[in-house]
Every structure is written in C-alpha cells, then in structure tokens.
Amino acid sequence: MSTDVPATLPSGGAVRPITRWGEEVMHRPARPVTTFDAQLRTLAADMVATMYAAEGVGLAACQIGVDLAVFVFDCPDESGEPHQGVVCNPVLELPEGKGRKLDDGEEGCLSYPGAFVSCARPDWARVTGLGLDGSPVSYEGDGLLARCLQHETDHTTGMVFGDRLSDRLRKKLRKQMEANADDYPPSWPAT
C-alpha cells in the first residue's frame, strides 16, 4: 500500500540489457538519488520497460548498470492485489521479535536469469523513500510483494540474494543458471 496516490509507472522507456552478477555495480552500495529531474524519469522509464521485457516484478538501477539507489516494481501481494511504484533511496523495515515470520519461498534474480532456489525472508516488509518527484513514498505488503521490496532494496545496498544463501544453495543456483545460459544472451532482454 502506498501512502500517496496510487503510483503510475513511467512509460515509453527503452529496453536495456540486464547487468549480471559479478559486475562491480552489482556488488557495491549505490549512490543516493539527489536530483529529481527528467534524466531520473527517463532512467525509471527504461527500468520499467526492461523489467516488463524480462517478465520480472522488480528491477533496481544497478541491474541496468546505473549506480543509483532506485528501484521500480509491479508486483502482487499475498492476496494477488497488484502494487507498483518507484522508490529512490529506499529504507527497509522488517518485523522483529514475535511478529517476525519467515517465508521460505523460491527466489530468482533477473541479473542471474533462469535460476530459482528457496531463500528465507520475512513475510512482511515496508519500504520508505522518495518518489520520482522527490516526495516521500511508502510501500508495504506480504507475500511476493514483501520478497520483492526486500530483494530490490538489497540491490541498492550492493547485495544480491545469492549472498544470503548457503554454499550448497549457491551451487544449485549457479548450475541452474549455467544450464539456462543459452536462453539469456548478454544482450537479454534487449533485442
């Protein structure tokens, strides 16, 4: 749920190739967004176009090689209700103590395509930050939405979800990705 008017994602962007794990931009904290201008809106539109072309539910700027703390998402919650938005400089809030329950669902990453493994994450999350115009935004939810908000915020901190996995699960993930590599050439999903 958003604290302001329901988001409309920017449109008209160009589909860009997705940056893969191992590239430096994927493994370092992103620079905070400080300028809310047409260039940021164009970046967000390109991120949305790329996310949809790759059939994803979220995408961080680092995933198209841009070192800025911003992500876009279009993702359903546990009940199937869709949520979408753009978050700059995200701050993640997770339940603690007795209210914390883990969801051990499968997770994948567009920057490590074709591979999915179980990754335990809290079953609810809230992200606060700034929208494309610099005004405060807040999104929260459960189910896949909670996983998405956590996954994309991790990207802005330089973490990929493989960093959260055991060696055994990372090896399983790598084998799946390598087995599907022909389906995801370096220019994917751009043509």
Measured between alpha carbons, how far is 135 from 89 in angstroms, rounded to an integer? 12
What kind and span of H or E run contains 140? strand 136-142
Q: Look up tokens 């329950």; give the residue.
A: 101
What kind and span of H or E run contains 51? helix 38-53
Q: Catalytic residue among 23, 107, 152, 178, which?
A: 152
- Of 103, 108, 110, the C-alpha closest to 52 is 110
Measured between alpha carbons, how far is 60 from 130 in angstroms, rounded to an integer? 14
Cis peptide before 189 (omega within 30 of 0): yes
**152 part of the active site:** yes
SS3 at position 24: helix
Longest dimension (CA), the chain: 48
Cβ neighbours of residue 130 under 8 Å, at least 6 residues apart? 33, 36, 87, 88, 89, 136, 137
- As annotated, the active-site residues are 152
